């Protein structure tokens, strides 16, 4: 079975450019999560969607970050304009909604902002 | 969600059992214990979870003490490919609202399996 699919795997761009990260959750899962991982802060949750609706975006660092989930099989995380401090590995995870259901992660997008 | 405490690092010989401890003394009755691991350059991988009873799957066993204040993840026959950072996470069981099952990752335990 296909797991969570993220694209691109690597992205290198210059400061000020718009960056769009993409995620395809596991088919049938109705919860989707975006995480960011850095050496300094570890893994931290950015935003959570349930049934395509954003439920908790308290982890989104600032207005430069936005996330959408137009349908059950696709989500984007956008950074505009990007800054060097946004450099990190961004992970998407999905799960069924329900007591105890585990989240399954993609392999991430390694983002470098020069 | 309750806080967890894990050793920073552990070593294990290949072929032997790896026993990774986790303390979660403030765990609530409706919180599960989850274990994930992260191998270098990959996303976190779900291993196992439990509420009260011990659990076993094809990857590992999870032993939860009767008072639920600590648990141990057991990899019965560790291989070199099990070298990773292992995260013990306590997460509320009920979905909905702000207690939707948010995973809060700590620093984890770096497990090194050596030949």
| Average confidence score pLDDT of chain B | 91
Any A CB within 8 A of B1 CB: no
Greater confidence (B95 vs B75) lies with: B75
CA A30 – CA A27 distance, rounded (Å):
9
CA B4 – CA B107 distance, rounded (Å):
10
Instruction: Supply the pLDDT for residue A62.
Output: 86
Any A CB within 8 A of B94 CB: yes
Predicted confidence pLDDT, tens digits, chain A (114 residues): 689 999 999 999 999 999 999 999 999 999 999 999 999 999 999 999 999 999 989 999 889 999 999 999 999 999 999 999 999 999 999 998 877 788 999 999 999 999
For residue A84, the SS3 value is helix
Instruction: Supply the pLDDT for residue B2.
Output: 65
Q: Is the pLDDT of residue B97 over 60?
A: no
For residue A86, the SS3 value is helix
Any A CB within 8 A of B57 CB: no
Query: What's the alpha-carbon Rg for chain B, to the nearest Å?
Result: 14
Backbone φ and ψ for A105, nearest 5 degrees, come out as -100, 150
Q: Which residues of B touch A33 (CB under 8 A)?
A: 103
For B4-56, write each residue's pLDDT tens digit: 999 999 999 999 999 999 999 999 888 899 999 999 889 999 999 999 989 99
Contact of B71 with B64, CB cutoff 8 Å: yes
* CB–CB contacts below 8 A, A to B: 55
Any B CB within 8 A of A48 CB: yes
* Closest CA of chain B from A109, distance in Å: 10
Any A CB within 8 A of B56 CB: no
Instruction: Supply the pLDDT for residue A98.
Output: 74
Q: Which residues of A touch B35 (CB under 8 A)?
A: none
CA B90 – CA B99 distance, rounded (Å):
12
Count CB neighbours of A110 within 10 A: 16
Does the distance separating the beta carbons of A103 and B103 come in below 8 Å? yes
Q: Name which of B55, B96, B101, B108 to mutate to probe chain A: the one with the most chain A Cβ atoms within 10 A of its Cβ.
A: B101
Q: Which residues of B touch A106 (CB under 8 A)?
A: 43
Instruction: Supply the pLDDT for residue B1.
Output: 61
Does the distance separating the beta carbons of A95 and B44 come in below 8 Å? no
Q: Is the pLDDT of residue B99 over 60?
A: no
Instruction: Supply the pLDDT for residue B4.
Output: 94
Does the distance separating the beta carbons of B43 and A4 come in below 8 Å? yes
Partner residue opposite A91 with nearest CB, options B43, B93, B107: B43
β-bridge partners, B28: none
For B13-23, write each residue's pLDDT tens digit: 999 999 999 99
Q: Which of B12, B35, B13, B9 is nearest to B103 (CA)?
A: B35
């Amino acid at each position: 079975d296909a797991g969570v699919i993220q694209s691109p795997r690597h992205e290198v761009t210059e400061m000020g450019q718009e960056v769009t990260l993409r995620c395809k959750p596991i088919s049938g899962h109705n919860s989707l999560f975006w995480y960011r991982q850095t050496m300094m802060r570890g893994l931290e949750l950015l935003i959570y969607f349930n049934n395509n609706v954003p439920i908790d975006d308290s982890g989104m660092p600032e207005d430069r970050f936005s996330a959408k989930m137009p349908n059950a099989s696709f989500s984007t995380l956008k950074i505009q304009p990007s800054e060097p401090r946004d450099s990190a590995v961004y992970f998407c995870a999905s799960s069924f909604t329900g007591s105890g259901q585990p989240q399954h992660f993609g392999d991430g997008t390694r983002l470098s902002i020069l | 969600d309750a806080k967890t405490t894990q050793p920073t690092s552990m070593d294990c010989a290949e072929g032997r059992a790896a026993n990774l401890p986790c303390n979660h003394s403030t765990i609530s009755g409706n919180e599960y214990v989850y274990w994930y691991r992260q191998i270098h350059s990959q996303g976190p991988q779900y291993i196992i979870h439990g509420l009260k009873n011990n659990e076993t799957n094809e990857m590992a066993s999870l032993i939860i003490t009767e008072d639920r204040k600590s648990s141990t993840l057991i990899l019965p026959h560790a291989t070199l490919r099990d070298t990773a950072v292992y995260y013990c996470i306590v997460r509320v069981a009920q979905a909905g609202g702000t207690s939707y099952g948010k995973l809060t990752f700590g620093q984890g335990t770096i497990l090194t399996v050596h030949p």
